[in-house]
């Protein structure tokens, strides 16, 4: 039997909102595997939701730079939020996004590129580390571009123009008018910031994720005593619901005042104003610290250890 710790139970509760004992039992049943325990709880109908997003613990900023048919977002990390509020750090993050707009979203290429004012981006980061006295990294970058149309953008939690906690880019292919296209792109970008879709449409979702969803739905139906012919129908219905919740184009558009249109329907409706067909070809969403965990510090234990009691 796995050594199930309180921290593991806490993490599973945060992911599923299930009860403490249910979480402990799930971890015991799955040998301490968190993701397998999530599925175990879902199959038993004990998990309210399987939260996919990683815990966001890293500090710093996401910076966005968009111009016409191209846009890029970068994540620049620091050790503390205090440094993220430093004007020098903010200026650097913004400048790095501007560099990335010209050279693309490969981190190594960005770091090797010329930084405005002299040297390379990597050298500027090292110089800023020396000046401020805190470690910093260019963690990742993502780009969207179209041959005809616009790239809409939005920054959530903005602390300065183009700098914040979440950056979103949405690519719209169209030969229509740029101004209403940009307005639509920003609205869809705001939607993406709020809903964090897993993909653009059903075809863009990882088949392994869909297979896992099918397995959970089938196991849960069988657990409820449903016959196999009914299980199959429940699974198909559940997968359709999953796509509506997980894919951008099938989600209900949060900007629709009536709360009825999907994103795809809102895009279609906008074609009259734009004066041409519109196709959403892609999107990116960078959330600060996504997928990175920072070690949690037990301050009381640190004090006790320093006093020779730990």
Asked if residue 126 and residue 26 are part of one domain, the reply reads no
Is the same domain home to 31 and 139?
Answer: no
CA 47/CA 12 separation, integer angstroms? 10
Average pLDDT over residues 103-125: 95
CA distance 144 to 128: 28
Tell me, yes or no, whether 237 lies in a domain: no
Q: How far apart are CA 183 and CA 181, in angstroms?
A: 5
pLDDT at 54 over 50: no
Q: Which two tokens stand for residue 192?
A: 């993406």
**CA 229 – CA 186 distance, rounded (Å):** 45
Percent of the residues in the chain that have a pLDDT greater than 90, as a whole number: 57
The verdict on pTM exceeding 0.85 is: no
* Tens-place pLDDT, residues 187-203: 999 999 999 999 999 99
Q: What pLDDT score does 289 carry?
A: 87
> CA 182, 183, 184: angle at the middle one, nearest 5?
90
Q: What pLDDT score was predicted for residue 57?
A: 35
296 or 203, higher pLDDT: 203
Helices and strands in the chain, H and E counts: 12, 7
Q: Same domain for 159 and 63?
A: yes
Asked if 194 and 85 sit in the same domain, the reply is yes
My answer on whether 70 and 126 are in the same domain is yes
pLDDT at residue 297 in the model = 47
pLDDT tens digit sequence for 122-168? 999 999 988 888 889 999 999 999 999 999 999 999 999 999 999 99
Domain that holds residue 30: 1-51
Name the most confidently modeled range: 35-49, 80-94, 123-137: 80-94
22 or 186: which leads in pLDDT: 186
């Amino acid at each position: 039997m796995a050594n199930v710790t309180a921290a593991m139970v806490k993490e599973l509760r945060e992911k599923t909102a299930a009860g403490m004992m249910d979480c402990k039992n799930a971890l015991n049943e799955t040998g301490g595997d968190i993701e397998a325990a999530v599925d175990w709880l879902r199959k038993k109908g004990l998990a309210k939701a399987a939260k996919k997003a990683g815990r966001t613990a890293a500090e710093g900023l996401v910076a966005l730079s968009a111009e016409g048919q191209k846009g890029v977002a970068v994540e620049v990390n620091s050790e503390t939020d205090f440094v993220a509020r430093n004007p020098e750090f903010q200026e650097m993050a913004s400048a790095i996004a501007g560099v990335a707009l010209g050279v693309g979203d490969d981190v190594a290429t960005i770091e090797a590129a010329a930084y405005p004012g002299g040297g390379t981006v990597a050298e500027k980061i090292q110089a800023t580390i020396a000046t401020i006295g805190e470690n910093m990294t260019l963690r990742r970058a993502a780009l969207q571009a179209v041959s005809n149309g616009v790239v809409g953008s939005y920054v959530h939690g903005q602390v300065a123009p183009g700098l914040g906690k979440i950056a979103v880019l949405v690519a719209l292919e169209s030969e229509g008018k740029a101004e209403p296209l940009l307005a639509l792109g920003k609205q869809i970008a705001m939607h993406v910031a709020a809903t964090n879709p897993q993909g653009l449409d059903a075809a863009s979702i990882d088949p392994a994720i869909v297979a896992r969803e099918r397995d959970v739905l089938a196991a849960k139906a069988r657990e409820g005593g449903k016959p196999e012919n009914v299980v199959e129908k429940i699974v198909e219905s559940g997968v359709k619901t999953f796509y509506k919740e997980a894919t951008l184009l099938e989600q209900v558009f949060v900007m629709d005042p009536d709360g009825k249109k999907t994103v795809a329907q809102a895009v279609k409706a906008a074609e009259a104003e734009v004066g041409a067909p519109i196709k959403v070809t892609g999107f990116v969403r960078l959330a600060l610290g996504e997928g990175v965990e920072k070690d949690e510090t037990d301050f009381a234990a640190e004090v006790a250890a320093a006093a020779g009691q730990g």
